[in-house]
Protein backbone atom coordinates (compact mmCIF):
# COMPACT_ATOMS: atom_id res chain seq x y z
CA UNK A 1 0.00 0.00 0.00
CA UNK A 2 1.32 3.43 -0.92
CA UNK A 3 1.90 5.28 2.37
CA UNK A 4 0.39 8.46 0.96
CA UNK A 5 -2.59 9.11 -1.30
CA UNK A 6 -1.88 10.79 -4.63
CA UNK A 7 -2.75 14.50 -5.01
CA UNK A 8 -6.08 13.79 -6.73
CA UNK A 9 -7.00 11.23 -4.05
CA UNK A 10 -6.26 13.73 -1.28
CA UNK A 11 -8.30 16.39 -3.07
CA UNK A 12 -11.17 13.93 -3.44
CA UNK A 13 -11.12 13.01 0.26
CA UNK A 14 -10.84 16.68 1.26
CA UNK A 15 -13.85 17.48 -0.90
CA UNK A 16 -15.83 14.50 0.41
CA UNK A 17 -15.29 15.67 3.99
CA UNK A 18 -16.23 19.28 3.19
CA UNK A 19 -19.42 18.17 1.42
CA UNK A 20 -20.33 15.70 4.19
CA UNK A 21 -20.19 12.93 1.58
CA UNK A 22 -17.66 11.18 3.82
CA UNK A 23 -18.73 10.88 7.44
CA UNK A 24 -17.21 9.19 10.46
CA UNK A 25 -19.25 7.70 13.30
CA UNK A 26 -21.37 4.58 13.70
CA UNK A 27 -23.33 3.45 10.67
CA UNK A 28 -25.37 0.31 10.08
CA UNK A 29 -24.84 -0.82 6.49
CA UNK A 30 -27.27 -2.75 4.32
CA UNK A 31 -24.97 -5.75 4.83
CA UNK A 32 -25.72 -5.62 8.56
CA UNK A 33 -22.17 -4.57 9.40
CA UNK A 34 -21.50 -1.63 11.71
CA UNK A 35 -19.11 0.68 9.89
CA UNK A 36 -17.03 3.55 11.34
CA UNK A 37 -17.51 5.54 8.12
CA UNK A 38 -20.13 6.17 5.46
CA UNK A 39 -19.88 7.54 1.93
CA UNK A 40 -22.80 9.19 0.12
CA UNK A 41 -22.04 10.67 -3.29
CA UNK A 42 -25.45 12.38 -3.26
CA UNK A 43 -23.85 15.01 -1.01
CA UNK A 44 -21.85 16.37 -3.96
CA UNK A 45 -24.92 18.45 -4.65
CA UNK A 46 -23.68 21.78 -6.00
CA UNK A 47 -22.05 22.88 -9.22
CA UNK A 48 -18.70 23.50 -7.53
CA UNK A 49 -18.77 20.16 -5.71
CA UNK A 50 -19.62 18.23 -8.87
CA UNK A 51 -16.94 20.08 -10.82
CA UNK A 52 -14.32 19.22 -8.20
CA UNK A 53 -15.45 15.61 -8.08
CA UNK A 54 -15.39 15.32 -11.88
CA UNK A 55 -11.79 16.57 -11.96
CA UNK A 56 -10.82 13.80 -9.53
CA UNK A 57 -12.64 11.22 -11.67
CA UNK A 58 -10.86 12.52 -14.78
CA UNK A 59 -7.41 12.35 -13.19
CA UNK A 60 -8.04 8.85 -11.85
CA UNK A 61 -9.15 7.34 -15.15
CA UNK A 62 -6.54 9.15 -17.25
CA UNK A 63 -3.79 8.03 -14.86
CA UNK A 64 -4.94 4.43 -15.35
CA UNK A 65 -4.65 4.79 -19.13
CA UNK A 66 -7.92 3.09 -20.06
CA UNK A 67 -9.08 3.41 -23.65
CA UNK A 68 -12.70 4.49 -24.07
CA UNK A 69 -14.82 6.31 -26.62
CA UNK A 70 -17.87 7.39 -24.59
CA UNK A 71 -19.35 7.52 -21.08
CA UNK A 72 -22.36 5.76 -19.59
CA UNK A 73 -24.03 6.67 -16.27
CA UNK A 74 -26.30 4.06 -14.65
CA UNK A 75 -29.49 5.52 -13.17
CA UNK A 76 -29.63 7.28 -10.85
CA UNK A 77 -26.40 8.50 -9.27
CA UNK A 78 -24.33 7.64 -12.31
CA UNK A 79 -26.26 10.15 -14.44
CA UNK A 80 -24.85 13.40 -12.96
CA UNK A 81 -21.46 11.76 -12.42
CA UNK A 82 -21.03 10.73 -16.07
CA UNK A 83 -22.36 14.10 -17.22
CA UNK A 84 -19.95 16.04 -14.99
CA UNK A 85 -17.05 13.86 -16.10
CA UNK A 86 -17.94 14.51 -19.75
CA UNK A 87 -17.69 18.26 -19.06
CA UNK A 88 -14.35 17.84 -17.25
CA UNK A 89 -12.90 15.77 -20.08
CA UNK A 90 -14.16 18.25 -22.70
CA UNK A 91 -12.27 21.00 -20.86
CA UNK A 92 -9.15 18.84 -21.29
CA UNK A 93 -9.73 18.52 -25.03
CA UNK A 94 -11.63 15.19 -25.06
CA UNK A 95 -15.20 15.85 -26.18
CA UNK A 96 -16.88 12.47 -25.61
CA UNK A 97 -20.52 11.42 -26.06
CA UNK A 98 -22.46 10.48 -22.94
CA UNK A 99 -25.53 8.30 -22.35
CA UNK A 100 -27.54 7.00 -19.43
CA UNK A 101 -30.50 4.73 -18.79
CA UNK A 102 -33.94 4.93 -17.23
CA UNK A 103 -35.00 2.57 -14.47
CA UNK A 104 -38.18 1.88 -16.44
CA UNK A 105 -38.68 2.01 -20.19
CA UNK A 106 -40.58 5.01 -21.56
CA UNK A 107 -43.49 4.14 -23.87
CA UNK A 108 -44.00 7.62 -25.38
CA UNK A 109 -41.80 10.32 -26.89
CA UNK A 110 -38.39 8.91 -27.77
CA UNK A 111 -39.23 5.75 -25.79
CA UNK A 112 -36.91 3.02 -24.60
CA UNK A 113 -34.46 2.69 -21.74
CA UNK A 114 -31.62 4.87 -23.04
CA UNK A 115 -31.13 8.64 -23.23
CA UNK A 116 -28.30 10.58 -24.84
CA UNK A 117 -25.81 9.50 -27.46
CA UNK A 118 -26.19 6.09 -29.12
CA UNK A 119 -24.04 3.46 -27.45
CA UNK A 120 -21.07 2.64 -29.65
CA UNK A 121 -17.41 1.82 -29.43
CA UNK A 122 -15.73 1.35 -26.04
CA UNK A 123 -17.98 2.55 -23.23
CA UNK A 124 -16.77 3.56 -19.76
CA UNK A 125 -19.35 2.99 -17.00
CA UNK A 126 -19.29 5.79 -14.40
CA UNK A 127 -20.90 5.34 -10.96
CA UNK A 128 -20.42 6.28 -7.31
CA UNK A 129 -19.57 2.96 -5.64
CA UNK A 130 -19.88 -0.77 -6.24
CA UNK A 131 -21.93 -2.51 -3.58
CA UNK A 132 -23.28 -5.77 -4.99
CA UNK A 133 -22.32 -4.98 -8.58
CA UNK A 134 -25.91 -5.30 -9.85
CA UNK A 135 -26.05 -1.89 -11.58
CA UNK A 136 -22.70 -2.56 -13.27
CA UNK A 137 -23.81 -5.95 -14.59
CA UNK A 138 -27.05 -4.44 -15.91
CA UNK A 139 -25.13 -1.60 -17.55
CA UNK A 140 -22.68 -3.98 -19.21
CA UNK A 141 -25.59 -6.02 -20.56
CA UNK A 142 -27.27 -2.88 -21.98
CA UNK A 143 -24.04 -1.79 -23.62
CA UNK A 144 -23.43 -5.18 -25.22
CA UNK A 145 -27.06 -5.44 -26.36
CA UNK A 146 -26.56 -2.17 -28.24
CA UNK A 147 -23.53 -3.59 -30.03
CA UNK A 148 -20.99 -1.60 -28.03
CA UNK A 149 -18.16 -2.79 -25.79
CA UNK A 150 -17.91 -2.15 -22.03
CA UNK A 151 -14.39 -0.75 -21.53
CA UNK A 152 -14.26 -0.49 -17.74
CA UNK A 153 -15.86 0.90 -14.62
CA UNK A 154 -14.98 4.15 -12.83
CA UNK A 155 -16.19 4.74 -9.27
CA UNK A 156 -15.46 7.25 -6.54
CA UNK A 157 -14.71 4.93 -3.61
CA UNK A 158 -13.79 1.26 -3.34
CA UNK A 159 -14.52 0.11 0.21
CA UNK A 160 -12.27 -2.96 -0.37
CA UNK A 161 -14.69 -4.93 1.73
CA UNK A 162 -15.35 -8.61 1.17
CA UNK A 163 -18.84 -9.75 0.31
CA UNK A 164 -20.95 -12.31 2.12
CA UNK A 165 -20.02 -15.05 -0.37
CA UNK A 166 -16.25 -14.89 -0.50
CA UNK A 167 -12.97 -13.18 0.23
CA UNK A 168 -12.95 -10.79 -2.73
CA UNK A 169 -14.32 -7.25 -2.78
CA UNK A 170 -17.27 -6.28 -4.98
CA UNK A 171 -14.86 -4.51 -7.35
CA UNK A 172 -12.71 -7.62 -7.79
CA UNK A 173 -15.83 -9.77 -8.23
CA UNK A 174 -17.01 -7.48 -11.04
CA UNK A 175 -13.57 -7.62 -12.67
CA UNK A 176 -13.59 -11.43 -12.53
CA UNK A 177 -17.21 -11.88 -13.63
CA UNK A 178 -17.29 -9.31 -16.44
CA UNK A 179 -13.64 -9.09 -17.43
CA UNK A 180 -13.68 -5.31 -16.91
CA UNK A 181 -11.08 -3.18 -15.13
CA UNK A 182 -12.48 -1.26 -12.17
CA UNK A 183 -10.85 2.09 -11.38
CA UNK A 184 -11.58 3.88 -8.10
CA UNK A 185 -10.68 7.48 -7.36
CA UNK A 186 -9.80 6.31 -3.85
CA UNK A 187 -9.91 3.11 -1.81
CA UNK A 188 -10.18 2.25 1.87
CA UNK A 189 -6.38 1.92 1.87
CA UNK A 190 -6.13 5.51 0.61
CA UNK A 191 -8.59 6.65 3.26
CA UNK A 192 -6.49 4.92 5.93
CA UNK A 193 -3.33 6.67 4.72
CA UNK A 194 -5.17 10.00 4.55
CA UNK A 195 -6.62 9.66 8.06
CA UNK A 196 -3.23 8.56 9.40
CA UNK A 197 -1.70 11.85 8.23
CA UNK A 198 -4.30 13.99 10.01
CA UNK A 199 -4.19 14.36 13.80
CA UNK A 200 -7.85 15.40 13.83
CA UNK A 201 -8.76 11.99 12.37
CA UNK A 202 -6.54 9.90 14.65
CA UNK A 203 -9.47 8.35 16.54
CA UNK A 204 -11.17 7.39 13.30
CA UNK A 205 -7.94 5.97 11.89
CA UNK A 206 -7.81 3.34 14.62
CA UNK A 207 -11.43 2.35 14.03
CA UNK A 208 -10.85 2.15 10.27
CA UNK A 209 -7.91 -0.19 10.83
CA UNK A 210 -10.05 -2.43 13.02
CA UNK A 211 -12.83 -2.48 10.44
CA UNK A 212 -10.35 -3.32 7.66
CA UNK A 213 -8.97 -6.19 9.75
CA UNK A 214 -12.47 -7.55 10.38
CA UNK A 215 -14.07 -7.12 6.97
CA UNK A 216 -11.40 -6.23 4.44
CA UNK A 217 -11.13 -8.27 1.26
CA UNK A 218 -8.23 -10.66 0.90
CA UNK A 219 -7.30 -9.79 -2.71
CA UNK A 220 -6.98 -5.97 -2.57
Which of these is catalytic: 77, 106, 113, 204? 106
DSSP character at residue 129: B
Cα 34–chain centre separation:
21
Count helices and strands (H / E) in the chain: 7, 8
Q: Is the dihedral of CA 131, 134, 137, 138 positive or negative?
A: negative
Task: Let me know if 204 is a catalytic residue.
Answer: no
DSSP character at residue 119: P
Element of type H or E holding 77 = none
Which of these is catalytic: 8, 30, 108, 113? 108
Q: Any idea what the Cα angle at residue 19 is, between residues 199 and 208, rounded to 5°?
A: 40
Positions marked active-site: 106, 108
Amino acid sequence: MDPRPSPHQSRFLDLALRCDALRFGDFLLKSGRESPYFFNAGQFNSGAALAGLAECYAEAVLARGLGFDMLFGPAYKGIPLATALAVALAARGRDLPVAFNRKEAKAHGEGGHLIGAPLSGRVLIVDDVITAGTAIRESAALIRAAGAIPAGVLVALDRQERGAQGERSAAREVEAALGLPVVAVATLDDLLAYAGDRPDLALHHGRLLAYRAAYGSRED
